[in-house]
Amino acid sequence: MVYFHEKDVVTRLLFDVDADSLVDALDKSSRVAETVEFPALRVELNDPDDPEHGPRYASRAYSAVAPDPRHTPQETLLAPAYPVLETYDFAADRYHMDDEDGVRSARLFTEHRFLPSSGVTIISMSGGFGPRAVEEFLPVDSPRCVPRSEEAGRVHTAFEHSGDDPEQAMVRLHLWLPAGDLSTAIGLVREPVRRHDAAFVELLPAGKRPEDGYHAALLYPAPEVANDDQPHTLRTVATAAARTLGLHAEEVNVEQCGDEPIASVARPLADSHLAEPRAVVGVHVRLGGDPLALAAEEEQDEEEDEEDEPDVEPDPDSWAEEERAEFHQALRDLFEWNRVWLVADAEVRCTDGATAEDVLWRCADEDLSRVSDEDVQGHPEGVRALDNGNHSARLSIRTFEDDPDRVLENLLTVLPTGTWHSETRPWRTERNKEVVLRWSPRRDEHTAVIAELRVRVTRGVPPHLL
């Protein structure tokens, strides 16, 4: 959950997601969270034994806002919930206000609402002031994880239904992401989710400013098989995870938390880590479930990937030569139209256009080209002087990739000395078929040559080049 101050209003939206994988569930959940402007998101496996929850994944989107002293408590509770009520056509009077023992809260009273266009079912929404929210969603401290003073009021919570197999080692990975918004954070967390085959993920703003980035927590089962020596098993799993993530294996520590041992590697987030696209800040391992949950939990379903059936092509032997030539030309045209393009606009701190164009070319060669394993082709489109004395340069870049999501994920890992923001939120919906990302250097990077970089990612030739 997100919690900044005891006077803040914390609103929670709970919805089920019909998805085949956690990445798919993340994308569908982000469309809901971004539409209603809730900055924190948690996606996890549903309780397999609960008949109320049919789809595989459950999502929670959170919003924490400071109350306006000019408004009544009822208006204060209603304000963050209003985008949900308006977007999904819930009657405002169904968001019932309650005052129990002097503590005001609110809850949506209505039937579950299925949204067929997104595969999402709205289950419930509730809101309350800080103390009530903390009481309802009780956090558990990370073992050996001492937050910085500015992070003291912002905690992760334990994942439910993470398994009750006492011999299964579960790894909880904490990351810091240089993301200025939820859509960008999801773009950065996709790769580790896929690499570790994670079944649970939580994304929280790391502060009140976009440049503070995002915290991410992933939970996944370790491939090692446990033996009778629990501390040895935990240390083995934690050591393997630490080495994979670039941490020092000798820093693995096994401690007793209550009646159970937990292995952990803590890595306090330092300024030197802020140049990493995904900074590891902690690894925790427990047998039988989430290391942050020290109580019995329900059984976890295993993910099963379904392979798409291959398309059946027509037999080319039955074609005439002219038909064959037309087919191959059409195939080349289709292949070309599926290429992913980047249109990069850079504001460069310089006094002439030639320098601005040269800086953008170097950025494309050294950084933007890393979005693809193949060579990319750049097409310069001129420069212009800006009112502040800087110059702007544009470069259209043709890649040989046909997967925009892969290009977007790779793009978010370049230029680690700054923060990426998504101007398109959520990504790649029917309305938002292209994605615009904006990069800016962090405040301490006063000498950065590029003051701002705006990149448009689109499939097919950009319209302005046709």
**Coil, strand or helix: which one is 287?**
strand
Alpha carbon 256 to its chain centroid, in Å, reads 32
| Whether residue 265 is found in the same domain as residue 280 | yes
In angstroms, the CA 79 to CA 76 distance is 5
CA dihedral 334, 394, 413, 185 (to 10 degrees): -90
Of 14-28, 68-82, 148-162, 252-266, the range with the lowest mean pLDDT is 148-162
Task: Please say if the pLDDT value at position 324 is more than 80.
Answer: no
Q: 250: pLDDT confidence band, cut at 50, 70 and 90?
A: confident
For 200, 204, 372, the CA distances from 294, given in Å and listed in that order, are 17, 22, 43
Q: Which of 118, 138, 158 is the last residue of a domain?
A: 138
| Whether residue 35 is found in the same domain as residue 131 | yes
In angstroms, the CA 156 to CA 215 distance is 9
| Whether residue 230 is found in the same domain as residue 191 | yes
The mean pLDDT value for 223-246 works out to 80
293 falls within a domain = yes
Summary mean pLDDT of the chain: 78
239 falls within a domain = yes
Other C-beta atoms lying within 10 Å of the C-beta of residue 232: 14
Instruction: Using CB atoms within 10 Å of the CB of residue 46, give its burial: 0 to 12 exposed, 13 to 18 middle, 19+ buried.
Output: buried
Percent of the chain with pLDDT over 90: 25
Q: Which of 298, 319, 351 is the last residue of a domain?
A: 298
The mean pLDDT value for 153-176 works out to 76
316 falls within a domain = no
Q: What is the pTM of this model?
A: 0.76
Which pLDDT belongs to residue 348?
94
| Whether residue 193 is found in the same domain as residue 172 | yes
Q: 130: pLDDT confidence band, cut at 50, 70 and 90?
A: low
In angstroms, the CA 114 to CA 119 distance is 7
The mean pLDDT value for 132-139 works out to 42
Q: 342: pLDDT confidence band, cut at 50, 70 and 90?
A: very high
Q: Nearest to residue 61, comparing CAs of 46, 74, 80, 76?
A: 80
Q: Taking CA 273 as the corner, what is the angle to CA 271 and CA 274, rounded to the nearest 5 degrees? A: 70
120 falls within a domain = yes
Give the domain extent around 355: 335-465
Place of tokens 């992933």: 218
Q: Which of 276, 298, 320 is the last residue of a domain?
A: 298
119 falls within a domain = yes
| Whether residue 294 is found in the same domain as residue 405 | no
Q: 256: pLDDT confidence band, cut at 50, 70 and 90?
A: confident
330 falls within a domain = no
Place of tokens 């039937």: 111
| Whether residue 157 is found in the same domain as residue 60 | no
| Whether residue 376 is found in the same domain as residue 365 | yes
| Whether residue 246 is found in the same domain as residue 341 | no
In angstroms, the CA 12 to CA 21 distance is 23
Domain count, the chain: 3
| Whether residue 133 is found in the same domain as residue 260 | no
Of 90-94, 333-337, 413-417, the range with the lowest mean pLDDT is 333-337
315 falls within a domain = no
| Whether residue 393 is found in the same domain as residue 353 | yes
32 falls within a domain = yes
Which pLDDT belongs to residue 66?
82
User: What amino acid is encoded at 384 in this protein?
Assistant: R
Instruction: Using CB atoms within 10 Å of the CB of residue 432, give its burial: 0 to 12 exposed, 13 to 18 middle, 19+ buried.
Output: middle
Q: 301: pLDDT confidence band, cut at 50, 70 and 90?
A: very low
Of 133-147, 211-225, 421-435, the range with the lowest mean pLDDT is 133-147
| Whether residue 180 is found in the same domain as residue 134 | no
For 184, 219, 314, the CA distances from 317, given in Å and listed in that order, are 48, 51, 9
In angstroms, the CA 59 to CA 290 distance is 17
| Whether residue 60 is found in the same domain as residue 98 | yes
